[in-house]
Structure 1
Amino acid sequence: MTRNDQKNCSRNQINLSVKISWESPSNIALIKYWGKRDIQIPLNPSISFTLSKCKTTTEVHFTKGTGIDISLDGKDKPEFIPKIENYLQRIKERHPWLVSYRLQIKTSNSFPHSSGIASSASGMSALSLCIVEFANKIGFKLGALDFYQEASILSRLGSGSASRSIYGGIAVWGESSYLKNSRNEYAIKYPEIIHPIFKNYCDVILIVDTKEKQVSSTLGHSLMDSHPFNEQRFSQAHKHVKDIKRILQTGNVDDFIQLTELEALTLHGLMMSSSPNFILIKPNTLKIIEKIREFRNNSKLPISFTLDAGANVHLLFPNSAKNKTMEFVKNTLIQFCRGENFISDHVGLGPKRLTNFEE
């Protein structure tokens, strides 16, 4: 940042009070990220579907001063402040202007906070988008090539998977020799050919457990440093990137099912074989998986499952199979969901800017 840039930035900051709002979606990884080094640098590449309906809406009121206020669904959440303070500490080198501002953050999720769905990806990406937009407004010169790349960098520093939520459709985070322009510092929109069948793929999230995870993802990632199978896992992930590139181009759903289910089970296998080890899946997780496989064998419909770092099951299927699959969900799978709760979602377009300065 040059001296002239700093002068322009300082001039634009005088007595500035601005509200900026974005909505940003969650995502579900097809190739899982598990293990990191330094500050949120992944040890293997990951690829995800960006969702549509599962999203966070965040408004940030920037005023001169210091401090943070945060509310979720209209209720003050002072317990969230340390996490936001840690995030701001991480990004202050890129955005030093933040030390002169007070942030009043109002956020809400389209899904129940108690649903067991991790909101860090949608929440941190929405907050990062607000910060980058305000930086633009005060004339601060971004360190990245463009707006969304900067937002992805900041999102990564808040929550690794949040870096992928900046882009709609399919996103990639982590360097891979099989995908051009892929980087560890930020995610990119999937750069290769995508078969039409994957552009509106469906994801029904079956809510098995709504309790907070017994083991944090941060601890889980750290255990990969000494994991007995870490090198094999990282090698497998790179091979799976190569394989899924072909699958996404050709539309081979059978191979998609085999690869993504293997990724899901590998993730939880790593948790169960780390030291200390831990189990996040529940009995109903396994019952749902058994029912999905049974229904797939009997109906010949191309449905499959994947898992996040928790007990919930993501039921994946092409849009063409939606009617029969939803009948299966309501007639069979709902009994295994906590409170009979599930969320019907699909691949989405990515974040949406809600601020309108012309109002």
Structure 2
Amino acid sequence: MLSEQDFIVNDNTTSVEKGTFQWSAPSNIALVKYWGKKENQIPANPSISFTLNNCKTITNLAFTKKHFDKLSVTNNRFSFDLLFEGKPKEEFKPKIQKFFERIDVYCPYLKDYHFTIDTENTFPHSSGIASSASGMAALAMNIMSLEKALNPTMTNQFFFQKASFLARLGSGSACRSIKGNIVVWGKHAEIEGSSDLFGVEFPAKIHENFKNYQDTILLVDKGEKQVSSTIGHDLMHNHPFAEQRFAQAHDNLAKIKIIFETGNLDEFIQIVESEALTLHAMMMTSLPYFILMKPNTLEIINTIWKFRNETNIPICFTLDAGANVHILYPENVREHVLQFIKDELVGYCQNGNYICDTIGNGSQILT
């Protein structure tokens, strides 16, 4: 079993002067949610997610080796420029600086280079889709490409495990955006190879019902959340229902493991919707309490329930820590569901905006 110590670089076997890499990394949507974390981005409970395909971040990392004398203080600092869609984005830099500081012990070579990080999303920024997961995953993949260039004997398995490990230190859920198409993060007794340190691909067979599963994201509110996820996670430390919630997540992950193997869509719907509502129940029962759902979120949920009862089409919703609604459904009912969205749900979306996505395969190297 790998520990944090296993991800510390000892010596680089190769010298690299300059270069560039480009990776894309997708967002993901948790089915069993993690809410609450321990020190060093360790989850309080395990989670499982669908890796998405279309909602992704594309990040280009150009690097040039710094050449200073040994006494230079600037040689011992992180040096980088950050561009968003080709233009300088100073307000993003503190988050990258903090990320580099967190991973310094595992990637000491970062201080040897000046980086130009150029990043963009395939979905609208501030659309209410979590871009920190895809963004940190894409950056971690680029950093690991540099590490692989410095240590060419690195195995593929270690490459992806460390990428997920690093991504987690930038944004917890980012560790689930490295691989696809179903990823588990957090130690669970019934999931072989599961770890608190990085995400792992779901190790059991997946029933045909879940192949090419669809996710249409209804953009209910594209504004900034009143309460950040970081603050929300911290409020679980003294939460009156925390221990029951963590036990419930373990139980639901064991159940969904069987569901993925058997293909039972009714049970899938029950677990996924319960998890979504439980996540928001934790927010509403913390101190201080808060609500991230909007009136239109509830309108959409009720309309989905009515449609499902009337048609028996196996569609369900899930929610992130925000107001937007993810509608999940099998590929074979896609036309029916998209028509339903156009007829009955688009009016609840901000400016009528929604995004069609599907399960994907994780991060991809582009150059």
TM range (shorter): over 0.9
C-alpha distance in 2, partners of 1:72/1:7? 31
What TM-score, normalized to structure 2? 0.92
Aligned counterpart, 2:231: 219
Aligned counterpart, 2:19: 18
C-alpha distance in 2, partners of 1:114/1:217? 15
Aligned counterpart, 1:38: 39
CA deviation digits over 1:250-298, x for unaligned, max 9? Answer: 0000000000000000000000000011110000000000110011111
Specify whether residues 163 and 28 from structure 1 end up closer, same or farther in structure 2 by C-alpha distance, changes over 3 A only.
same
CA deviation digits over 1:63-107, x for unaligned, max 9? Answer: 123522111112211111110011011111111011111111000
Aligned counterpart, 1:283: 295
Question: Which SS does the other structure have where 1:19 is aligned?
Answer: strand
Residue 194 of structure 1 pairs with residue 194 of structure 2: no
Contact 1:50 1:349 in 2 (8 A): yes
C-alpha distance in 1, partners of 2:152/2:131? 29
Deviation at 1:31, TM superposition (A): 0.3
CA deviation digits over 1:273-325, x for unaligned, max 9? Answer: 00011110000000000110011111110000000000000000000110000
Deviation at 1:351, TM superposition (A): 1.1
What TM-score, normalized to structure 1? 0.94
Aligned counterpart, 1:113: 125
Identity %: 51
C-alpha distance in 1, partners of 2:345/2:12? 60
Question: Which SS does the other structure have where 1:225 is aligned?
Answer: coil
Residue 27 of structure 1 pairs with residue 39 of structure 2: no
Question: Which SS does the other structure have where 1:132 is aligned?
Answer: helix
Aligned counterpart, 1:342: 354
Amino acid of the residue matched to residue 88 of structure 2? Answer: D
C-alpha distance in 2, partners of 1:8/1:165? 29
Given candidates 8, 26, 29, the residue that maps to 2:13 is: 8
Contact 1:5 1:141 in 2 (8 A): no
C-alpha distance in 1, partners of 2:259/2:162? 30
The equivalences for 1:254-269 within 5 A come to: 254-269=266-281
Aligned counterpart, 1:294: 306
Given candidates 106, 116, 128, the residue that maps to 1:94 is: 106
C-alpha distance in 1, partners of 2:37/2:152? 30
Amino acid of the residue matched to residue 45 of structure 1? Answer: P
Contact 1:169 1:199 in 2 (8 A): no
The equivalences for 1:319-334 within 5 A come to: 319-334=331-346
> Greater CA deviation, 50-59 or 66-75?
66-75
Question: Which SS does the other structure have where 1:22 is aligned?
Answer: strand
C-alpha distance in 1, partners of 2:287/2:143? 38
Aligned counterpart, 2:70: none
Deviation at 1:143, TM superposition (A): 10
Unaligned runs of 5+ in 1: none
Specify whether residues 7 and 313 from structure 1 end up closer, same or farther in structure 2 by C-alpha distance, changes over 3 A only.
closer
C-alpha distance in 2, partners of 1:324/1:103? 47
C-alpha distance in 2, partners of 1:143/1:232? 40
Contact 2:32 2:275 in 1 (8 A): yes
C-alpha distance in 1, partners of 2:152/2:104? 13
Deviation at 1:145, TM superposition (A): 5.4
Deviation at 1:6, TM superposition (A): 2.7
C-alpha distance in 2, partners of 1:251/1:5? 46
Contact 1:5 1:140 in 2 (8 A): no
CA deviation digits over 1:39-59, x for unaligned, max 9? Answer: 100010000000000001000
Residue 58 of structure 1 pairs with residue 59 of structure 2: yes
Contact 1:5 1:139 in 2 (8 A): no
Specify whether residues 121 and 7 from structure 1 end up closer, same or farther in structure 2 by C-alpha distance, changes over 3 A only.
closer
C-alpha distance in 2, partners of 1:323/1:144? 39
Contact 1:35 1:221 in 2 (8 A): yes
Number of residue pairs matched by the alignment: 349
**Superposed CA RMSD:** 1.6
